[in-house]
Structure 1
């Protein structure tokens, strides 16, 4: 597999140190983040999934632990909106330039505001999709936040 993606190119241009880990992506599985966490040997809470949403009709990228679920109420509040909904997969693919299961917050075709789940910032390193299925980048969450000019807020449902 080639590791050159818009996501890795973005990180290199931003001079953010990161490691690349590749794994065999098994198509057809529903819980891609949990599959990836198991494949690369990290706890599911340390592998972050990128979910595209719309807050009051505006796109945004939420980066949350692979074993957690978004609270749309918290998503809307984090971006000062009234309502939030998941972006349809086809729209997310067109906007980001990535396929679902491989969406990265880095190097999106049209960069949307990015918000990380606050609990993900407690780790020394996190694993985030590197721009295609089967490719993960590992880096400190603070470096990811800085490179993306992202915020961190509570985004996930309790439990």
Structure 2
């Protein structure tokens, strides 16, 4: 069991785990999950770490979209956002790249979920390791993380 799954259980939210065989040669962890689980990429969300004015924040966007750093900075009330270096993201969260979950991180960081998450009854996201996704309602994710729903990609 991963810390993410334990966090969902502790929070008493309805969730479902989905596993698949991860290919280390996959070009995109998120697109791989969507394809192997037979899901629309817009329903599978990647968990990204960024630094807004030097402070770490979590951003979640559909795997077929790219995070708009200006929108993230604005959502957090900052001036500039940059992607967090991979090694720092792993240290901050306790997870490996491709397995970073928004749940059960070492320290709770501000979380921003792309507004289109509300289009789906449930979202899929990493459950804390490559090859394992957790499905839950967007509202439950926001309740567990204290996150906010905002525009994070330009359509």
Q: 1:30 deviation in Å?
A: 2.4
1:141 matched to 2:138: yes
Query: What is the rounded CA distance, in whole Å, between the counterparts of 1:153 and 1:95 in structure 2?
Result: 23
Question: How big is each residue's C-alpha offset from its partner over 1:118-147, in whole Å with a ceiling of 9 and x where there is no partner?
Answer: 011210011010000000001111111111
List per-residue Cα deviations over 1:81-113 (Å, max 9, x = no partner): 000000000000011000000000000012211
**Aligned equivalent of 1:37:** 34
- 1:121-140 matches, within 5 Å, as 121-140=118-137
Gaps of at least 5 residues in structure 2 are none
Q: Gapped runs of 5+ residues in structure 1? A: none
Size of the aligned set, in residue pairs, is 155
After superposing on structure 2, the runs of 4+ consecutive aligned residues of structure 1 that deviate more than 6 Å are none
RMSD: 0.8
| Residue of structure 1 equivalent to 2:103 | 106
**2: CA distance between counterparts of 1:44 and 1:25?**
16
The answer on whether the counterparts of 2:92 and 2:105 sit within 8 Å (CA) in structure 1 is: yes
Q: How do 1:19-98 residues align onto structure 2 when only pairs under 5 Å count?
A: 19-98=16-95
Which TM-score applies when normalising by structure 1?
A: 0.95
Q: TM-score, normalised by structure 2?
A: 0.98
| Secondary structure class of the residue paired with 2:31 | helix
